[in-house]
Structures are given as structure tokens and as C-alpha cells.
Structure 1
Amino acid sequence: MIYRFIFTACLLFCAQVAAAMGPSNRDCIGQTPCVLGDRSYHVLPPDDWDGVSPLPVMLHFHGWQRQGTLIVQHQRISGATRRRGVLLVAPNGLGRSWDFWHAGTDDVDFARSVLDDVRKNYPIIEDQIFVSGYSWGSNMAWRFVCEDGADVAALLAISGTLRQTEDCTTAPREVRQVYGLNDQVLDYPYGPQGEEDYPVYLWREKFDCAEGVANGPWNARDFLTFQRIVWENCETGRVSLDIHPGGHFIPHGWIARQLDEILGLPNSYP
């Protein structure tokens, strides 16, 4: 009888401790936000994950007036990560926006705390942390790696940058940028003399890169062709710029192609 009493007491004590700690952020998946202080983020594991194998991570910042609920169901974003064994993490911006304009923004600290929280709940591959974003989310992704990107394997930026004169204290190991020449929301950032390769000038300078090399056209879908310039002869790092004739959107298959190349997977769509 005494043993039954002790066992029951232990169960009650454990339940009280668990309740005090709050729900695990591994229980929030997809549309259910993971609470982190007074803010939140969304997470989506890849298809067929066994629950224990370490995962690459892609932290993706949503565009203006969006939230992570869209990111985890967006076929050009989550459709790419789910099929490639990548854990997708989508933080929610205050007021559905991001503060990326100046150094020292609280959103950089928040994004770091999101990654730290993800580490507590998922086994991640530390040298395969990717940071991505679209539009204002791309600007925020630049801001994050500019200030706290020492452990970031690659920046995957879509239709958004920072000022190319920004003084970045850190950098990712690789930068991949895509931009549409007909972007009428965040105008294509041509250089002072009209240079088309200016959107990645900051990183080319920081990595001390030599002349870029045209890497030929490629496309994931027949209706949109990219022209790629690559800077691989750098003191550190690597930079690539994909230019297309379209406007302000996430191109079909672009994120998927970058992950395929970085992870050494066969190129596929979607």
C-alpha cells in the first residue's frame, strides 16, 4: 500500500512540474504557434522524419503583413523544405512586419532566441543552418546575418536587401540572392553606374571576391529563366546572384534549387 501511495505521489509531482514548465514547443507544429515569451514562431518538420535524426534548419522571415502561418503552408517554401529533409522555422514579426532598418534591432535578438528554442526541442545539424526571407523578410534575413550570422551556412534572400554600404559585423558562409529586374515593390538595386550585379556588392566586398563569372541560364519552370552570376574566387565565402525578368514574387523552384545544390541533392521540382 505504501508503495502505491509513493508512486501516485510521484506521478502527481511530475505532472505539477510539467504544468509549471508549460507545454513543450515540440508539440506545436504547422499552424499552431510555438509560444516564446510574448512572441511566437511556427515550425514544420520534413516529411517522413523519424523524430530523432538531426535536421538542417531553414529560418524564413515572412513578408510584410504576413505571418508564419502562411510560410508553413506555402508550396514554394515549405514545399521545398518538407521534401528535402529540412526543418522549417518561421518567426512571427510584431505588427506583421520587421524592424530591419538599423543595427541593434530587437528582431535580431528575437530570431536568435527562436533558433535557441528550436535547439531545445529538435536535434539540428549545427553547420546546416540556413536563413531565408522574402521581400521585407529578405531585408530582415540580411539584417540577421549581418549582425548575428557567424553560425549561418547560407543566406537565401528573395527580392530584398540592405543598403550595400552597411557595415556588417558577421556574415554567413555563403550568400544566394534572387531578384527580378521588373520588381516594382522593392525596386531592383542597380549600382551607381547601372551595374546589375550590385544587389550583392556588400557581400562580395566583405568576402574579398574576385570578378564574378556568368554561370549560364537555368530554370525550374519553362516560363521563368534565371541568369546566374557566381563569385567563388573569394578570400572567404561564396556569392551567387540569380536575375530574372519578372517582378516581386517568390520564384517557383528557387528555394528548392538552392537547397538541392547546398545539400548535394539531385535537382528536382518541386
Structure 2
Amino acid sequence: MIRFFCLLGFISLGLTTSASACGGLEACSVGDRSYHVRAPDNWDGETPLPVLLHFHGWGRQGDLIMTHRRIAINEVAENVLLIAPNGLRGSWFFWQPNSPDSDFARAAIDDAAARFPIDRDKIFVSGYSWGANMAWRFACDAGDGLAGLLAVAGTLPQTMDCDGTPNEVRQVYGFDDQVLPFPYGPNGETTYPVALWREKLGCGEGTAEGPWAARSFLTFERTSWDCANGHVVLDVHPGGHFIPHDWIPLQVEQILERTGRDD
């Protein structure tokens, strides 16, 4: 059963939906927590929207995400409802299953759904750094049915227990990351950052797709897996701890193209 889309978690937290106007840099209240939300630039006001739930990095807040030039652009700015929860004291609790921050993020989505029509079959979760770790935790806590996990420069232990399974997984990591060092496998494998999802989704051998670039100054090497129960992509690059230009919007666009659009 898909716990991710269930309002019971929202009700059991004793959270209430705020009727006040909010959006963009003006936070929306959910109980004693808050989140930010941004509708697409050219939205017609009626069409149900895919959702990108993004967890900010350590020490940040969701208002930064609303205008972030590596997140809120292109496919995200044009076609996706962007939701950015605010972490308590700028951080997230992702160390154990059933995180209270997962409950809060589900409540934020339910609150946003009372304000905007959303497509619950096309909900993505992303995050950067500490927020990428939280995105992994949310994907594990959410149950099955999450459209995609997009993780940037962060992950969780590949041997942990994880109940949920996203339909699509996209991970990007830099070999020269000095903040959250690249998680090589036991024998130095460079595909280890997605080992957990490859096992859960029933993946076989990966396909090395070779180099590609969104911008001329950064080249990725991509490995992909077409799996029995989904699809996994790992992009690696020689750089450090940052969100690569265009990477998040491109992954959303590619997954929507793979899974089909309603428009």
C-alpha cells in the first residue's frame, strides 16, 4: 500500500492546513513547521501538476530553492510544482527509518495539494548534500509509487533497510567531493552510490553511456540500468561538492519523457 499518498499521516500529526495566502518567498504554515511552494511560470491554473519536493542543504531554508538557478529553471520552472520544506535549524533527521521530517514533508505535499491540483503519479523528490541524504530517507519512508529520486552529492549507507522503492533513481556525485566524500564500493567500485536501488529494483549489468555535458565546463560519465522494476542512472564527474548546472531539471524532463506526459 502506498503510504506516501495517504492523508492519514497528515491527520495523525495533528497538523492543519493554513488558508492564508503563501507562495514563493512567503512560507506556507503546516502546524508549527513551514515550507515554500512555487507554481510553474506559465501554468494555466487548472492542469494537474507534477511535483518536485526538494530538501535544501545544511544550514539553508526553502526560500533559497524558489529562485535557485540550478533548480528552479527550465523544466522545473515551466511545468512542475516546486515544494521546498524548511528544515529545523537548517538540518534534517535522516539517520533512522520513519523520520519525523518524512512525516512533515508528506504533510507539506498534502497542504500544497489543497492549494494546487497535483498529479500524484508524478511526484519527485530531490535534495542536495544533507538534503540528498534526506531525500534518500524520504524515498525509503514513502513506500512504493514515488515517481523519482534525484540525489545530488549525498546518499545513505547502501546496506541499510529501506521499505520504499522509487520508480526511477537518478544520482550524481563528484569524485573530488571533500564534504561528503564519494562512496566507493568495497573493492573501489564507482557504481556503489546506487547499489541499494540496483538490488531493490532488480537490476542486472549496467550500460556505460559515455560522456555527456549540460554545460561545456563539466563532463559527466553516465551508467544506467534498465531493471525489472524500474530504472537507475548514475552520473559521476571530476568535480567537488555542488549542484551541477541544469542537472536536476534535465532529470525531471528525462523521466517525464520516459514515463509519458499528459500534455
What is the TM-score when the length of structure 2 is the normalising length?
0.89
Aligned twin of 1:175: 169
Could you tell me how far 1:48 is from its partner in structure 2?
1.2
Q: 2:123 aligns with which of 129, 132, 152?
A: 129
Aligned twin of 2:19: 24
The residue correspondences of 1:135-154 to structure 2 (distance < 5 A) are 135-154=129-148
Q: Which range moved further: 100-109 or 186-195?
A: 100-109
Matched, 1:185 2:179: yes
Aligned twin of 1:264: 257
Q: 1:235 aligns with which of 221, 228, 231?
A: 228
Query: Identity rate of aligned residues, in percent?
Result: 59
Other structure's SS at 2:58 match = coil
Q: 1:252 aligns with which of 245, 251, 263?
A: 245
Aligned twin of 2:89: 95
Matched, 1:53 2:35: no
CA change 1:81–1:96 in 2 (3 A) is: farther
Larger RCO, structure (CA 8 Å, separation 6 or more)? 2
Give the aligned residue type for 1:235: A
Could you tell me how far 1:83 is from its partner in structure 2?
3.6
Q: How many residues align?
A: 243
Aligned twin of 2:12: none
Aligned twin of 2:58: 64
Give the aligned residue type for 1:109: D
The residue correspondences of 1:145-164 to structure 2 (distance < 5 A) are 145-164=139-158
Other structure's SS at 1:226 match = strand
Contact 2:23 2:36 in 1 (8 A): yes
Contact 1:47 1:82 in 2 (8 A): no
* Structure 1: runs of 5+ lacking an equivalent: 1-20, 266-270
What is the TM-score when the length of structure 1 is the normalising length?
0.87
Other structure's SS at 2:78 match = coil
Q: Deviations over 1:56-91 (max 9, x none)?
A: 100000000000010101011112454431000000
Aligned twin of 2:188: 194
CA change 1:149–1:81 in 2 (3 A) is: farther
CA change 1:76–1:106 in 2 (3 A) is: same
* Structure 2: runs of 5+ lacking an equivalent: 1-15, 259-263
Q: 2:71 aligns with which of 77, 82, 102?
A: 77
Q: Deviations over 1:17-72 (max 9, x none)?
A: xxxx98525x2111000000000000000111121111110000000000001010
Contact 1:81 1:87 in 2 (8 A): no
Q: Deviations over 1:67-119 (max 9, x none)?
A: 00101010111124544310000000011100001112211111111111111
Give the aligned residue type for 1:163: P
Contact 1:81 1:88 in 2 (8 A): no
Aligned twin of 2:5: none
CA change 1:45–1:166 in 2 (3 A) is: same
Contact 1:45 1:82 in 2 (8 A): no
Which stretches of structure 1, 4 residues or longer, exceed 4 Å deviation after superposition?
A: none
Contact 1:134 1:159 in 2 (8 A): yes
CA change 1:82–1:236 in 2 (3 A) is: closer
Instruction: Give, in whole Å, the separation in 1 of the partners of 2:249 and 2:18.
Output: 33
Aligned twin of 1:13: none
